[in-house]
Structure 1
Amino acid sequence: MRDSKVKPRVSRQIAGLRWINFLPQSTIPVFYFTFDYRSLRLSMSDLEKTYSREQQRLGHELEEVMTPHMLVRDMTRGQESVRPTHSRVNEHDVDAQLALEKEDEPREEERASGGPTSEASDSLDLSNPARTIIRFEDGDPAHPSNWRQIYKLYALLVAIMTVMNSTISSSLAAGATIQISDRFNEKNEYRLILPTSIYLVGYTVGPLLWGPLSEAFGRKWTMIWAFALFTIFSIASSTSPNFAALIVFRWIVGIGGSCPIAVVGGICADCYHNARSRGRAMAYFMAATTFGPILGPPISGYIATVNWSWTFWIGAIIAGATWPLLIFFPETYAPVILKYRARRLRKETGDDSIIAPIELEKTDFGHIVTVVLTRPLRMMAFEPLVTFTCLYLSYAYAIFYIFFQSYPIIFDGIYGFSPGERGLTFLPIGIGAIISACIYLTWDNILARAQRLSKPWSRSEEMRRLPLACIAGPFFVLSLFWAGWTAKRSVHWIVPTLAGIPFGIGYLCLFMALLNYLVDAYEIFAASASAAASVSRSSFGAILPFAARPMYRTLGVPWACSLLGFFSLAMCAIPFAFLKWGPLMRRKSKFCQYLAQKKKEEAEAREREADGRIPEDVVAAGRRVDDKEEC
């Protein structure tokens, strides 16, 4: 083996470096004080949390992992460090490992970093055969799962606000159809569906970009650029000179607005490693995706009477108030945080061999297109859990958006409601969603009690999430038959309106259960799995509403709703199938196999720490909070 010489070049004034994790990189302050040995050892404690003494596996050989004690000793002595590397990694080995992704297998580099990877720093010399790879210590406070609760709540709150912006905008056009028709002299009823449906077409395109890009370049900047696109073209929609321009602008708004839908599931997985805490965070996220479309029609139904453009100005104003919060949004994707840390250490020490595992990633355009951006589609095509989850959620989502076409037929045609009054008929769905949230919290407490009592069933991944999906299906079916067969002039309008309550219960329970199940199953690939679900359901939501009016006119309200109900009844079998065959599907999944291997490696690392193979003061620098309930 060959020795590696490292010449750390350290200013005598950088010893007191401290970074505030929750502020953006450009606004992080640095404090200085006089250099001496003792202060340096104290200030470098955060570096001790950076390095792992575990050997990082790349190809068939091992790379050196530099300990913070070595780095501190070398800098305080002000002399060269001559330390042996375990071995060198040549570029061919790295490239060979990176090629595994193209065969639908996660990369070895991702195993080292805990997630997918991104571009290398400009200052990084990848031609250097001897590298020092850094990783998080167990319990490192810079890791999002170990952040203080207030920082996690801020990240979750901002993420949910962006989701509300996006989902409210998705249905704003539904309450202003008459005014849009008058403004642009557009009388074709199918074309008038486009301002809503084309937005959902944007939802099908965007997640294919934003989900994988957030796993390559980080959540924060992906959200910032996508939401800037959303805000700018929301303003453009309100000033559209013609109907064609409105359609194009709404499509672009949908692309930008799809980013929170695709990425927030990944943010929840980043910040909350405890399954119960993560499940609650996902429940808040799904509640936002449900309440947003419900609020759109009553808002636009009343405000469009002032001017059609105010329908979209409201969306732009809300988005403009939310976007600045993303400037202070913390990066939550751990591999990217580690990349920032490696970049900082290279600058401080002058040692260009220090790298994060994410920086070993290929960043050429071909790799991004063929590997990163296709991951959601590959998961949808080759992962049965993702495929059938997408199918069920897509159908439920499509029915929700069919209601934006069927409610005018029911409540305007049968009961003579105005657009504003019709918008209020969506509110019972919100009441059902609130009841659904209570059901979720009740189940969560039952599960926690069973886990404390070590009940065998409570250890099953399927039993933790899927029972809610099993009870959601019957509520869903009930609501459709209820609405269809009570929508008559002889029956008071409140009766079909109340059918929205079981729909809201079933809809939110279904989404909370199945999306939580996906996040639990795919963890660091949660953003791509969520993106796959978003693409599929948005496709259904964009296309099926065009069939709503012909179906309701041909079959009549009772039988049109019944047809939807019978299909819903068939879909009820999916969560029961997951209960029986879900473990087998996860065992055969290449993504789940990778996650199992990663957990095995982490367990082995903890065993080595327990055996004393890592200095005690380095291990103690972090604090374990992985199993702590946090929200």
Structure 2
Amino acid sequence: MGTYDETHLQPTTTIDASHDSVKTNETTSTEISWDGERDPENPYNWPVSRKWALTCLAAFTTFLSMMNGTIITVAHFEISERFSVTETSFPNSYWPVTTWASGGACSALFILPLAEEFGTRPVFLSTYLLFLCFLVPQAVAQNFATLVVTRFFAGGCVAILANTAAGVIGNIWSTEWSRSIPVSLYILGYMAGSSMGPVMGAAIHESLDWRWVGYLQLIWFGALFPVYYFFMYESRGSAILAQRARALKKRGKGDEADFEEERMLSSAKLRHFFHIATRPVVLFSTEPVLFVSTVWSAFTVGTLFLFTQSVEQVFMELYDWDVAQTGYVQCSIVIGECVGWGLNLISRKLYFSSASRNTEVPGTPIPEARLYMAVLGGVFGISGGMFTYAWTSYSTIPWIAPAISLAMVGAGSVLVVSGVSDYVVDAYSDYAGSAMGSVAGGENIFSAFLPLATMSMYGNIGLQWASTLLALVSLVLSLVPTLMFFWGKEIRARSVFMNAMKDTVKKGHEAA
């Protein structure tokens, strides 16, 4: 999951449309700011049609780029044969996906500082071009090592692209209510993209050589670059104001000293960069709530990547399917994720209606209300789906039964990841970006290494008991957060980081 810009996802009721400014010099009172609350260049004041166009573009970008992670999985037999990779006792052909997710985990720590320093547009476009470069060796690789190494950097690029898309949504929608649906669309794109990868890969690989999986990606990503160049507008307020400051300087309305503060990568910002980069690790190590949230969300996302391995074992062994068919059946996961997105709209209503019951900060929603649908999704969606997936894995039972189970897991996964993401952002407020950096890192690590255990787990303890084990783990992780329903206030009071949320929400509510 993507990290979030800490300056734009605060759990306040409204955001002042004129809050951004660029100071020109510490010794003067001059500053570049918006021309009033109705400044049309302020992203919060953009027309709704433009906001939705940019939101859909960001969600589509996330969906398409995330497919790159799993689209190669359906070609693992041919890749193993071409590069003499053995899979007798270990899924060595999965290493290109492992390094891809590992690259995403590493780059997640540096996304927020880059976006903050340079704005969303230059970071997105430059990373996109770099991503195109790393697509080339995925198609023309002459040895397995090339494929593994270049996939690491491609995964790092995808993480930056996806997180920049998430930042765009936070930059243009000013209230929690207006932002909730756009954020859920982003999460749907993030998860459905990973699940859709094997489906798209199967469609390509059924008729073409495995290298065409890379060629076609290069074609469609290259064709889309002009769209992003002309329509991925700069949405970060401070970056727009910095452009305005440079324009004023060119017109002679300021001197070098006046705009010294505009200069980037100063020593102070460099220190801030390292501070942000290390904070996710500190939070994960010291915050029990964040630890559980990270493991819960990471296991959920890792399970979706695990299906790229287990579905082949189950459906090929039980129904004698070929690789392409096992890729197509994973479309049921995507269908379930779309259903989960629809159910997530109920979570939105439950959250905002909880404001009438909040005695801690009256008039504001209760953070734990974000978890209501997540717990239901974890128990009945993921755990229930995995139990059903386990005990319908018999050749005498029609294939549609385990396929429906996959859809149940897909629906539950969207509810869990959406609920955890929203809860972490609300609970950690000023530290939301760093907290989500921890969650994103965990998701990438589980996505990288959990599927490596699939072959031995399903082979040694059987199709039924392997899925049952996963269902039990998911059930435990889904029930632990229910403790927050009863002792959420006390737990937040003991946390230095979470306690800061209370003061921030109070100030935002008073301002509103």
**Would you say the 8 A contact 1:398–1:545 is kept in 2?**
yes
Structure 2 counterpart of 1:284, from 151, 171, 185: 185
**Would you say the 8 A contact 1:231–1:319 is kept in 2?**
yes
Indicate whether 1:331 and 2:331 are aligned: no
Indicate whether 1:155 and 2:58 are aligned: no
Superposed, which structure 2 residues align to 1:239-278 within 5 Å?
239-278=140-179
Deviations 1:149-202 (A, max 9, x none): 122123212211221122111111111111212222222343211122211111
**Would you say the 8 A contact 1:227–1:259 is kept in 2?**
no
Structure 1 counterpart of 2:376, from 465, 471, 480: 471
Name the structure 2 match of 1:320: 222
Name the structure 2 match of 1:494: 400
Deviations 1:511-548 (A, max 9, x none): 11111223344567554443322211110111111111
Q: Distance in 1 between matches of 2:382 and 2:345?
A: 20
Superposed, which structure 2 residues align to 1:69-80 within 5 Å?
none
Name the structure 2 match of 1:191: 92
Indicate whether 1:550 and 2:456 are aligned: yes
Judged with a 3 Å threshold, the aligned counterparts in structure 2 of structure 1 residues 381 and 271 are, in CA distance, closer, same or farther, namely farther
Q: Which amino acid aligns with 1:146?
A: N
Displacement, 1:361? 7.7
Name the structure 2 match of 1:412: 316
Q: Distance in 2 between matches of 1:553 and 1:152?
A: 49
Name the structure 2 match of 1:565: 471
Q: Distance in 2 between matches of 1:596 and 1:336?
A: 29
Structure 1 residues without counterparts, runs of 5 or longer: 1-110, 607-626
Displacement, 1:323? 2.9
Name the structure 2 match of 1:78: none
Q: Distance in 2 between matches of 1:432 and 1:309?
A: 30
Q: CA RMSD in A?
A: 3.2
Q: Distance in 2 between matches of 1:259 and 1:221?
A: 12
Q: Distance in 2 between matches of 1:588 and 1:271?
A: 34
**Would you say the 8 A contact 2:171–2:235 is kept in 1?**
yes
Q: Distance in 2 between matches of 1:545 and 1:380?
A: 23
Structure 1 counterpart of 2:201, from 274, 287, 300: 300
**Would you say the 8 A contact 1:552–1:560 is kept in 2?**
yes
Name the structure 2 match of 1:170: 69
Name the structure 2 match of 1:133: 31
**Would you say the 8 A contact 1:262–1:531 is kept in 2?**
no
**Would you say the 8 A contact 2:351–2:365 is kept in 1?**
no
Indicate whether 1:439 and 2:337 are aligned: no
Displacement, 1:340? 2.6
Q: Distance in 1 between matches of 2:247 and 2:504?
A: 27
Q: Which amino acid aligns with 1:176?
A: A
Superposed, which structure 2 residues align to 1:57-68 within 5 Å?
none
Q: Distance in 2 between matches of 1:495 and 1:603?
A: 49
Name the structure 2 match of 1:231: 132
Name the structure 2 match of 1:579: 485
Number of equivalent positions: 487
Larger Rg: 1
Displacement, 1:591? 5.6
Displacement, 1:139? 4.8
Displacement, 1:442? 3.7
**Would you say the 8 A contact 1:398–1:540 is kept in 2?**
yes
Q: Distance in 2 between matches of 1:172 and 1:437?
A: 23
**Would you say the 8 A contact 1:476–1:507 is kept in 2?**
yes
Judged with a 3 Å threshold, the aligned counterparts in structure 2 of structure 1 residues 374 and 464 are, in CA distance, closer, same or farther, namely same
Q: Which amino acid aligns with 1:196?
A: V
Displacement, 1:130? 2.8
Indicate whether 1:143 and 2:42 are aligned: yes
Q: Distance in 2 between matches of 1:488 and 1:406?
A: 14
Structure 2 residues without counterparts, runs of 5 or longer: 1-15
Q: Which amino acid aligns with 2:84?
A: N
Superposed, which structure 2 residues align to 1:302-451 within 5 Å?
302-305=203-206, 306-328=208-230, 329-348=232-251, 349-352=253-256, 354=258, 362-363=266-267, 367=271, 370-445=274-349
Q: Which amino acid aligns with 1:318?
A: W
Q: Distance in 1 between matches of 2:365 and 2:141?
A: 53
Name the structure 2 match of 1:88: none
Displacement, 1:365? 8.3
Deviations 1:532-578 (A, max 9, x none): 22211110111111111111111111111111111111101343233
**Higher RCO, 1 or 2 (CA under 8 Å, sep at least 6)?**
2
Name the structure 2 match of 1:204: 105
Q: Distance in 2 between matches of 1:602 and 1:408?
A: 51
Question: What secondary structure does 1:414 align onto?
Answer: helix
Indicate whether 1:536 and 2:442 are aligned: yes
Say which structure is richer in helix: 2
